[in-house]
Amino acid sequence: MRAKSILIVVFAGMVAFSGCTAGGALQSSPLAYGGLTDAGFRIPPVPIYKVDQKFHRQTVPYATDEAPGTIIVDTGAKFLYYVLGDGQALRYGIGVGKAGFEWHGTAHVARKREWPDWSAPSQMIVRERNRGHIIPAHMEGGLMNPLGARALYLFNDKGDTGYRLHGSPEWWSIGKAVSAGCIRLMNQDIIDLYDRAPIGTKVIVI
């Protein structure tokens, strides 16, 4: 009896340590959002306790007919799902486009870049200038680059959609509609997604 009790305690401890949450979700450890050095850049830790728990990276039940490896972006709920199969997906919290900058459709990952450069579209430069903001036409990859640590470039049958799945140092923007249309993730999350999604990955934005 004593041995059985010990096993129950050990099992309960393992479940607590794994980060299981209500509804069958399996949440990443807060350590997943710690600081790290990547390609010579020191990515600061995210104060993840300040981010709504539902936007933390976690495995969740997810019913879909799409094949494992598909990315589904739910802009309304502010979630990105990486389909795992067997009724599950890895869910990430995202920031999405402001009103008037949304995009929906089906695309695929045509290019991937680590610490990508960023070039401002001419329309954005003009729009921001009219608002009294001067933005650079081009920025080298780095910690303050708008595309963050990684970028996945979305193309469809017509070519480059102009939209990206990318990282951002602005962790406080996750769960909000703040961008110029692109889908942003915390840098720690885009690094994780980048390593999972090869060139050719199907992306559905709803």
Q: Domain coordinates of the chain in residue numbers?
A: 2-205
DSSP bridge partners of 204: 72, 106
Is the pLDDT at 154 greater than 90? The verdict is yes
What was the pLDDT predicted at 141? Answer: 75
Question: What are the pLDDT digits (tens) for 167-205?
Answer: 999 999 999 998 766 899 999 999 999 999 999 999 999
**What's the distance, CA 163 to chain centroid?**
14
Q: Which amino acid is at 192?
A: D
Question: What are the pLDDT digits (tens) for 72-105?
Answer: 999 999 999 999 999 999 999 999 976 545 679 9
Q: What percent of the chain has pLDDT over 70?
A: 74
Is the pLDDT at 56 greater than 50? The verdict is yes
Catalytic residue list: 166, 182
Higher local confidence (pLDDT), 4 or 150: 150
pTM of this prediction? 0.82
Residue 119 neighbours by CB distance under 10 Å: 12
The CATH architecture of the domain made up of 2-205 is Beta Barrel (2.40)
Lowest mean per-residue pLDDT among 10-14, 61-65, 88-92: 10-14
For residue 9, give Cα distances in angstroms to 3, 13, 150. Answer: 10, 6, 41
What was the pLDDT predicted at 103? Answer: 79
Largest CA distance in the chain: 75
What was the pLDDT predicted at 198? Answer: 98
Distance, CA of 204 to CA of 71 (rounded, Å): 6
What was the pLDDT predicted at 14? Answer: 34
**What's the distance, CA 10 to chain centroid?**
34
**Of 27, 26, 16, the residue nearest 8 (C-alpha):** 16
Burial status of residue 105 (CB atoms within 10 A of its CB: 0-12, 13-18, 19 or more) = middle
Lowest mean per-residue pLDDT among 13-17, 103-107, 129-133, 137-141: 13-17
Distance, CA of 55 to CA of 36 (rounded, Å): 20
Six-digit token string for 115: 């610490």
Q: How confident is the model at residue 16 (pLDDT cuts 50, 70, 90)?
A: very low
**Of 123, 99, 104, the residue nearest 176 (C-alpha):** 99
SS3 88: strand
Q: Please, where are the H alpha helices in 131-202?
A: 187-196
